[in-house]
Chain A
């Protein structure tokens, strides 16, 4: 019985939250990795793109709520999501026209492109703040739980509670649909194939008549969509705060590099590696330990790292990968 209780506690406090967080990180890392493989720079503005997209989704959600439109048990934000994606993608295309296009033309070094993305980051940051401010916003208006603690107890009779929040289920389902659509697009459609060709060998792709402007435009649209979805899911699951999204940049970069930057499968795997390490190392294991080792009451919380140091986990994994396997778990590119 204690063994089952221990498993339930692990599922409740580690596996479920880490899976949802991992899916959010994976979507974010996919955006970073796509920009990296097509435009060949690390996009520092990605966190603020996520914040901007989420801000738009929140505004539209409020609009729908004011009009009395809702999705029943599902959060209204899901209905607002396509509109948010459209606006964010339009902004991405505009940014590319006004800012990045010039640097592609002069073939600027990657590190200059990174610096340019810092400028874009400032502007996006300001736009988000103008739009929605800096305060914490909770915009989840759907049903809170799929399984709550009471239902679980009645269902199983176990003393250890387990809750499954609906935002966690929505996150995972949306992420699966998004990733499936993305891989279908990259693998089966003509545009997707030309994107992969462009990523593998730019000169060869240009020689075979692929239109680089089209590839770049599609990449920005997809990145805008991925950023908005990732940001909205994170915001639904936790809450929206512009600065938190900037801080997500580190775990997202770490996920992309751990998996092998430029490799979409790697980005997803990396997201889960980071999220499980982060949640696992900052969880207080006291409860599980008391179940597993009877007659022993540990003094502390049996927490390996305080939650304040969760960024240290991403960072340490990042450093280990850079030292031992700079191409990442799945062979990424190293330029």
Chain B
């Protein structure tokens, strides 16, 4: 963040006005394309708003560039698989002990290496550390490989993974936050305190690796085979149960609605309610934090690290703190997203969609403003969906002067890529002409 940030005058009506415009857009979508589609966009938009709140804590409060939101999101998404799926019978007996032993060996080896590095001096230090790590690696593989083989051999067409604990899905949401926070602590510990863009590069890397782990570790989450049928969180019902309930059907008919349509909308509304509750809790917490002395200190550090350090603030520690907190919120969003989808598909994690698009949301909404992140999340998600819908029509109109054939076909086929261009232009435009976003920070 530049040091030229100045408190400007912005009308008190700005935020309500933009939220009203957003509401009108969603209502318009509902009247033209149906409420299923409108609620679908709104639900995913609110999820994006939760992600944007997390990224805003890092970029907006503290000026930290997290280029790996996708990784923390994916890791958070692992929580519903591990917590709320039913356990695979026999899997834990077959390989659970081996895997725990392997992780124990790995942790001991790393701790031993750190101990040697700190307590041994002289030429032997480097050699001893290397030897301990190599020995540790082979011991880890010795315990790990057979355990994985045993687990993956159990009913591979439907399971082949460790399975979950069979606990309620709602419990998995905070667990997702904790998982992401743990990974963020490891990354932040090493990459913070150095140049500002090293954090960006390190997070870019950890995101690729976390997604690679989810894609390849079949014993954990079935990898590219996907986990389906992740239980819905309480109180969201299943469409089929609603349709089979005579009471619900009667009620829907009394309102003049098709029961099937009514059931899908009820499910979406239930999710919406859950997301709104989470979002309200988050915004209450973040607004309180931002207004507290802690929030003022964070902004002071962001605006001038040197003077904040001179005032006795431990800049690196505070950065680590906010980085972990922000990542936890992203992890929470990841767990919520997997519960909404009902399935874990590791191949669907794409950095443009889940890292850089979230950054666009934060910057367009207004860096440092929590309400701005919510507005940016819903609004940019709406534009992203709509750019995909309108792209082909716009392209067809643009291509109409060309004669039928190669060029025209190529242009129309490339229409889905329109959204990338739209997002890039929006991001560059906001950064250049309105760097404080739609709802500037107060």
Partner of A114, one of B197, B206, B424: B197
Chain A residue nearest to B196 in the complex (CB): A111
Contact B428 A334 (CB under 8 A): no
Q: Which listed residue (B67, B196, B205, B421) contacts A311, Cβ 8 A?
A: B205
A119 touches B65 (CB 8 A): no
B417: chain A residues at CB < 8 Å are: 126, 129-130, 134
* Nearest CB on A from B69, distance (A): 12
B201 touches A246 (CB 8 A): no
Interchain CB contact (< 8 A) of A111 among B1, B215, B418: B1
Find out whether the CB atom of A123 lies under 8 angstroms from the CB atom of B208: no
- Contact status of A110 and B197, CB under 8 A, knowing A122-B356, A125-B352, A311-B205: yes
A112 within 8 A of B: yes
* Docked complex: A101-136 residues within 8 A CB-CB of B: 102, 106, 108-112, 114-116, 118-127, 129-130, 133-134
What number of A-B contacts does a CB cutoff of 8 Å give?
A: 136
**Least CB distance, A35 to chain B, in whole angstroms:** 12
How far apart are A172's CB and chain B's nearest CB, in angstroms? 27
Beta-carbon contacts under 8 Å, B193-240 to A: 194-198, 200-202, 204-206, 208-209, 212, 215-216
Q: How far is the CA of A247 from the CA of B212 in the complex (A)?
A: 12
Contact B204 A253 (CB under 8 A): yes
Q: Which of A20-28, A148-156, A224-232, A315-323 contacts B (4 or more CB under 8 A)?
A: A315-323
Kindly supply a per-residue 1/0 record for chain A positions 65-91, scoring 1 wherever the CB is within 8 Å of any chain B CB and 0 otherwise.
000000000000000000000000000
Complex interface: chain A residues within 8 A of B82 (CB): none
Partner of A112, one of B2, B212, B418: B2
Let me know if B428 and A120 touch, CB within 8 A.
Answer: yes
The CA of A122 and the CA of B422, in the complex, are separated in Å by: 9
| CB of B167 closer than 8 Å to a CB of A | no
A92 within 8 A of B: no
Residues in chain B near residue A312, CB distance under 8 A = 209, 212
B63 interface hit (Cβ, 8 Å): yes
A119 near B4 with CB under 8 A, answer: no
A326 adjacent to B4 (CB under 8 Å): no
Task: Say yes or no: is B393 at the interface (Cβ < 8 Å to chain A).
Answer: no
Please tell me if the beta carbons of B212 and A119 are within 8 angstroms of each other in the complex: no
User: Is residue A39 within 8 Å, beta carbon to beta carbon, of the partner chain?
Assistant: no
B:238-255 near A, CB below 8 Å: none
Once the chains bind, are A99 and B428 in contact (CB under 8 Å)? yes
> How many chain A residues touch B (Cβ–Cβ < 8 Å)?
51
Out of A130, A246, A319, name the residue touching B414 (CB < 8 Å).
A130
- Least CB distance from B441 to A in Å reads 15
Does A309 have its Cβ within 8 Å of any Cβ on chain B?
yes
* B200 / chain A contacts, CB cutoff of 8 Å: 42, 44, 111, 114
Q: Is A311 touching B208 in the complex (CB atoms < 8 A)?
A: yes
B267 lies within 8 A of chain A by Cβ: no
> Which residue from chain A places its CB closest to the CB of B65 in the assembled complex?
A111
Which chain A residues in 307-335 approach chain B with CB under 8 Å?
308-309, 311-312, 314-315, 318-319, 322-323, 326, 334-335
Minimum Cβ distance to chain B for residue A124 (Å) = 8
A311 to B197, CA, bound (A): 19
Minimum Cβ distance to chain B for residue A140 (Å): 23
CA distance A249 to B207 in the complex (A): 13
Question: Does chain A have a CB within 8 A of B423?
Answer: yes
The answer to whether B356 touches A247, judged by C-beta atoms less than 8 angstroms apart, is no
Q: Do A315 and B208 touch across chains, with their CB atoms under 8 A apart?
A: yes
| A62 → chain B closest CB, angstroms | 12
Interface residues of B in 164-205 (CB under 8 A from A): 190-191, 194-198, 200-202, 204-205
Neighbour of A250 across the interface among B208, B413, B418, B424, CB < 8 A? B208
Q: Which B-chain residue is minimally distant from A326 (CB atoms)?
A: B194
Contact digits for A166-188, partner B, Cβ 8 Å, 1 yes 0 no: 00000000000000000000000
Q: Taking CB as reference atom, which chain A residue is nearest B414?
A: A130
Q: With a CB–CB cut-off of 8 A, which chain B residues contact A109?
A: 1-3, 63, 196
Q: Tell me the complex Cα distance, A247–B359, Å.
A: 19
User: B363 contacts the other chain (Cβ, under 8 Å)?
Assistant: yes
For the complex, give the distance between the alpha carbons of A309 and B206 in Å.
11
Residue of A nearest to B428 (CB): A119
Nearest CB in chain B: distance from A123 CB, A: 4
Q: Does A52 contact B (CB under 8 A)?
A: no
Q: Using known A-B contacts A111-B196, A315-B209, determine if residue A122 contacts B363 with beta carbons closer than 8 Å.
A: no
Smallest CB–CB gap between B398 and chain A, Å?
11
Does any Cβ of B come within 8 Å of A254's Cβ? yes
A41: chain B residues within 8 A (beta carbon) = 197
In the bound complex, what is the Cα–Cα distance between A134 and B200 (angstroms)?
Answer: 26
CB contacts (< 8 Å) of A319 on chain B: these are 190-191, 202
Instruction: Give Cα A102–Cα B429 distance, bound, in whole angstroms.
Output: 12
A284 proximity list for chain B (CB < 8 A): none
Asked whether any CB of chain A lies closer than 8 Å to the CB of B392, the reply is: no
B21 an interface residue at 8 Å Cβ cutoff?
A: no
Q: B354 → chain A, closest Cβ, in Å?
A: 14
Q: Which chain B residue shows the least CB distance to A122?
A: B424
- CB B6 to nearest CB in A, in angstroms, measures 13
Q: Is A306 an interface residue (CB 8 A)?
A: yes
Q: Given known contacts A112-B1, A116-B428, is B204 in contact with A249 (CB within 8 Å)?
A: yes
Q: Mark each residue of chain B from 52 to 88: 1 if its CB lies under 8 Å from any CB of chain A, else 0.
A: 0000000000010101000000000000000000000
A318 touches B201 (CB 8 A): yes
The 23 listed contacts between A and B (C-beta, < 8 Å) are A42-B200, A42-B201, A110-B196, A115-B359, A115-B363, A116-B431, A118-B427, A125-B352, A126-B418, A129-B417, A129-B420, A133-B414, A134-B417, A300-B145, A304-B137, A306-B216, A308-B212, A309-B212, A315-B205, A315-B206, A322-B202, A326-B198, A334-B194
Known: A111-B1, A111-B65, A253-B204. 13 other contacts (CB 8 A): A42-B197, A106-B2, A106-B4, A112-B2, A114-B196, A114-B200, A115-B431, A116-B431, A122-B421, A122-B427, A129-B414, A246-B352, A322-B194
Binding site for A on B (CB under 8 A): 1-4, 63, 65, 67, 137, 145, 190-191, 194-198, 200-202, 204-206, 208-209, 212, 215-216, 351-352, 356, 359-360, 363, 413-414, 417-418, 420-421, 423-425, 427-428, 431-432
* Top 9 A-B residue pairs of the complex, sorted by shortest distance between their CB atoms: A122-B424, A123-B424, A126-B420, A126-B421, A315-B205, A129-B417, A119-B427, A119-B428, A42-B197
Partner-B contacts on A (CB < 8 A): 41-42, 44, 99, 102, 106, 108-112, 114-116, 118-127, 129-130, 133-134, 246-247, 249-250, 253-254, 257, 300, 304, 306, 308-309, 311-312, 314-315, 318-319, 322-323, 326, 334-335
